[in-house]
Amino acid sequence: MISTAIQQLVNYGLDTGLILPDDEIYIRNQLLMTMQLDDFTAPEGEVCYTDLESILKTLVDDAVARGVCEDNSTARDLFDTKLMGVLTPRPSIVRANFEERYSGPSLQGNYIGGVYYPDKTRVGWWKNGYPEYFAKVLNAAFWIGVDVGIDGEPLDLATVAEVKSFYRETDMRRSVLTRRMTVTMRNGVEVAVEAVRFLSLTRRELGVVRYAVTPLNRAAAITFSPHIDADVRNADANYDEKFWEEVSTGADATQSRTKKSGFEAAWAQAVELDGAEWHCETRPEKVRAIAAVSREKGCAATLYKYAGICSSLNHAPADLTAAARAVAASGREAGFEALLEEQTAAWAARWHGCDVVVGGDPAAQQGIRFCIFMLLQTYTGVDTRLNIGPKGFTGEKYGGVTYWDTEAYCLPFYMATAGQAVARELLVYRYNQLDKAIENAAKLGFRDGAALYPMVTINGEESHNEWEITFEEIHRNGAIAYAIHNYIRYTGDEGYLADCGLEVLVGIARFWAQRITWSEARRKYVLLGVTGPNEYENNVDNNWYTSYIACWSMRYAARAARWVREN
């Protein structure tokens, strides 16, 4: 019976678009791991279900009966959230820029998780151990572009005669951005515009735009020019370098390569517009389709744009353009409304068990939901190469890289809402970078496998170049050790110590043992020249938090070593 319930949940994921057919076996195995089951007996005949709640109740009841889940309402809610977390993973993020041309001040931003550039460090003088570069998730191609002309005049909010109304909304329940505006053009035409876009949660390489223009006071000729522009730069480049170089550009797709780091990405578009005859314009790094239609007063012209966004993290470079075209084509084949339904179902599952309701304070309610929304969309646990950058992908500040914030503040949220497998991936991220942490420590003179995890990183190497932070804010090592303790305490997954955790703890303990020194004058051990977590005072001695977490980390490593030896 339990195998039937597991298959029902898998079928639910397939039917709602939460998972793709190619993922069925993987998702089933993830559910078995969550349920702590070793065997699966394929049900005979067609497996049907009535509703999601009954499936989850069957699975949770079984987990309670076998002692996998405690029998109380909180534990039950958390467990069915873990089950749903298996079904819901997006590597591409886009800022809230306008689709159409805008000549006023703005900061365009489109980012692909894990694709970065090693921007050469800019400092007044070098110090031993300074990183050679600051890794940053770089601004990628502007794929949302839809330029619009009304009776020959470009639609540009910075130059129109009047903006009569403007409304923009982030629907956090579905991760959909909607913008509505009414403007009067300088040529006298009044138009209403509605733009809706989203990055698909279920089809992780697909972006979708619906752009509607309605003439309000007279008939008008409307020109649409959906485009992709890969000729982009980062506003925060240390030496004003351009980080991308062109690989190829065709009628509907362009492919670029990052300098130095060698990542490649391709973007392709597929478009739809009733009554349109398209022609293409292609320039280096730029793809553009153009069509003109006429609409009577009150009749909308609606463009649909489907963009495939693929990177060499997931495809061979030679296959990228074809992959991006296939993603865009599949989006067009599915259609906007079906994709929006998929998005709505996927995000409903993502929110399941995560929401926090605050009564009587709308501002606090919106604030806490915004925080949850940012965490949900920034990290899904689908790729161990990715992590959680401060400010997520909302701009260039912090570069989309990893800080100790992940272990100190974010891990508890994912443990409680996304399930053991996702939380474990955050720990595995650091385990996979242990060799780099040992290298970082060795640059500063530490030895024998001592590990100093970086303050800022995207691949395990230190990227931060402020002396008082890079070399003195070493309490970050303790946060990584404590995260292992926190995870095991919450999930009961003590096997993680033997699999990965103990190696990390020993490396961190060796660092502390060498960093702490004996003071003959005080007849005590001391920890000199550190910066505490509040960063108010630099280069202080015996900071309480740093000293405490250092001692705790060594004690915990010793306990963990004993446990692994005995078990």
Residues belonging to the active site: 535
Which helix (DSSP H) or strand (DSSP E) does residue 171 occupy? strand 162-171
Lookup: tokens for 436? 């780099």
CA angle 364, 367, 372 (to 5 degrees): 125
417 residue type, one letter: T
512-524 residues labelled b (16+ CB within 10 A) or e (exposed): bebbeeeeeeeee
Lookup: tokens for 328? 């865009």
Rounded CA-CA distance 313/163 in Å is 42
Closest CA to 414 of 403, 406, 422: 422
Is residue 200 within 8 A of residue 342, CB to CB? The reply is yes
Closest CA to 170 of 417, 394, 337, 354: 394
Residues 6 or more apart whose CB falls under 8 angstroms from that of 562 comprise none
Closest CA to 26 of 454, 358, 18: 18
Backbone angles phi, psi at 61, to 5 degrees: -60, -40
217-244 residues labelled b (16+ CB within 10 A) or e (exposed): eeebebbbbbbbbbebebeebeeeeebb
Residues 6 or more apart whose CB falls under 8 angstroms from that of 370 comprise 172
Tell me which residue has tokens 């960093």: 515
Rounded CA-CA distance 200/331 in Å is 10
Rounded CA-CA distance 419/380 in Å is 11
Rounded CA-CA distance 360/480 in Å is 38
Backbone angles phi, psi at 269, to 5 degrees: -125, 145
The 10 Å Cβ neighbour count of residue 123 is 12
The 10 Å Cβ neighbour count of residue 367 is 12
Rounded CA-CA distance 462/127 in Å is 14
Closest CA to 35 of 13, 64, 8, 11: 64
Rounded CA-CA distance 499/477 in Å is 20
Residues 6 or more apart whose CB falls under 8 angstroms from that of 548 comprise none
Rounded CA-CA distance 292/289 in Å is 11
Lookup: tokens for 125? 């003088």
Closest CA to 204 of 302, 279, 297, 308: 308
